[in-house]
Amino acid sequence: MILGAIGDDFTGSSDLGLTLAAGGMQTIQFVGVPDVPAPPGVEAGIVALKSRSVPAPEAVRQSLAALDWLRAQGCRQFLFKYCSTFDSTPEGNIGPVIEALVEALDTTDPVIVCPAFPATGRTVYQGHLFVGDRLLSESGMERHPVTPMTDADLRRWLARQMRASVGHLPLRAIREGHAREGLLNEAAAGRQVVVCDAVADSDLLALGEAGQGFALITGGSGIALGLPRLLAPKRQNSETWQGAQGAALALSGSCSAATRAQIAAHAAAGGAQRKVEVADLVEGRETAARALAWAQAQDGLPLVYTSDDPAQVAVAQERFGDARAASLVEGFFAELAAAAVDTGVTRLIVAGGETSGAVTEALGAKALAIGPMIDPGVPALRVQGRPLALALKSGNFGAPDFFLRAARVLEGT
């Protein structure tokens, strides 16, 4: 294995897998830290964790365990993948995980920090993260129910999480060909962790070249755009995607604006839908068994969702508590997904990072093969050794017709 990646959630890890596989690297996404060696021929291994929203000490523990396994596979370079919207809080774990990985690798190399993903409108300029033409803190992410991003200045945000000083590599240095020099200068000045601007794919490719040979790089999937060419030149991913025939089911726990628009588009296309309220789960009016019985009676692609607008989510969190509400929703979807697959569903489309993690773990999947792109950042996936295809979508990703299109791609049509 050449490149070892650690993803802080399952959807982001599949996003990274799509980038690496499209670049020609033989790529596998592992569900959690494996307890056996990687299969022969794997060039890029991604250990997908469910650590994005956990306390920093637990995220560090999981990430170091993943690093230990990846090092044992012989990786030459390591990548820490987080969300392109830098989902975190001032007490979040991105900074602590970076510091722990740097210490474990015993490296003095500069560490790139760049969540930019221009294909989905995420760019970094003057150290600030943008979504489209809006600062991250004015994009709706400031109202995220778990990781509200109220400051778009990544330098300031990371400084709240880390002991060390945070540096900055401006766009001008990248465009003028001085990216590597700028990174080394920042590290020499005591700012080893460097927030890097990037507003186009060409900037990300330049950063990949500038970071060649550095032990650790961090970012969204975009930071990996140039890595296949640098780490495995003249290779081509020869794996053939095989879809899965049979019944399909869509599940959504994401409350993002993009997902809510996709739910509306699915309804407008005549799709059968079942909305589940947290109160119904608490009071026993809704169960996974009831939802499954409903889904089995529907034609086409049925959709079961808990998604709601931020105001309604806040009401449920206030009434039942953040942790309890999240646990109930994740447990419901995990039980529903496992039961659906046990009764013949072969295609699952899941929206939301936390929901995707809960579902994938409940299915007992150990490794996922990367298939074709459904939408930017969202590949088709196949559970290795089973006739089961998945789409794991970050809440903010995907076009309005995502659900129905994903079902077609997972089928191989």
pLDDT of 177-218, one tens digit each? 999 999 999 999 999 999 999 999 999 999 999 999 999 999
- What pLDDT score was predicted for residue 413? 66
Contact 139/132 with Cβ under 8 angstroms? yes
> CATH topology for 3-231?
Rossmann fold (3.40.50)
What are the residue ranges spanned by the domains of the chain?
A: 3-231, 247-411
How far apart are alpha carbons 32 and 49 in whole angstroms? 5
How far apart are alpha carbons 194 and 284 in whole angstroms? 49
Residue-level length of the chain = 413
Report CA 188 to chain centroid distance, whole Å. 32
Element (H, E) at 97: helix 94-105
- What pLDDT score was predicted for residue 309? 85
Same topology for domains 3-231 and 247-411, yes or no? Answer: no
- What pLDDT score was predicted for residue 238? 59
Q: Look at residue 15 and give its three-state secondary structure.
A: helix
Contact 255/307 with Cβ under 8 angstroms? yes
How far apart are alpha carbons 138 and 142 in whole angstroms? 7
- What pLDDT score was predicted for residue 234? 67
How far apart are alpha carbons 159 and 86 in whole angstroms? 14
- What pLDDT score was predicted for residue 86? 84
How confident is the prediction for the chain on average, in pLDDT?
A: 94
Rounded to an integer, the average pLDDT of 82-95 is 86
User: What counts of helices (H) and strands (E) characterise the chain?
Assistant: 15, 18
DSSP class per residue in 323-339:
HHHHHHHHHHHHHHHHH
Q: Which residue from 229, 208, 207, 230 is spatially nearest to 23, judged by alpha carbons? A: 229
pLDDT: which is higher, 142 or 271? 271
Q: Look at residue 5 and give its three-state secondary structure.
A: strand
Rounded to an integer, the average pLDDT of 30-52 is 95
Q: Look at residue 402 and give its three-state secondary structure.
A: helix
Q: Give the architecture (CATH level 2) of 247-411.
A: 3-Layer(aba) Sandwich (3.40)
Q: Say if residue 83's pLDDT is above 90.
A: no
- What pLDDT score was predicted for residue 98? 98
The region that residue 23 occupies, defined by phi over 0 for left and psi between -120 and 50 for alpha, beta otherwise, is: alpha
Query: Two tokens at 215?
Result: 């032990």
Provide the 8-state DSSP code for 234: T
Q: Say if residue 142's pLDDT is above 90.
A: no
How far apart are alpha carbons 226 and 20 in whole angstroms? 9
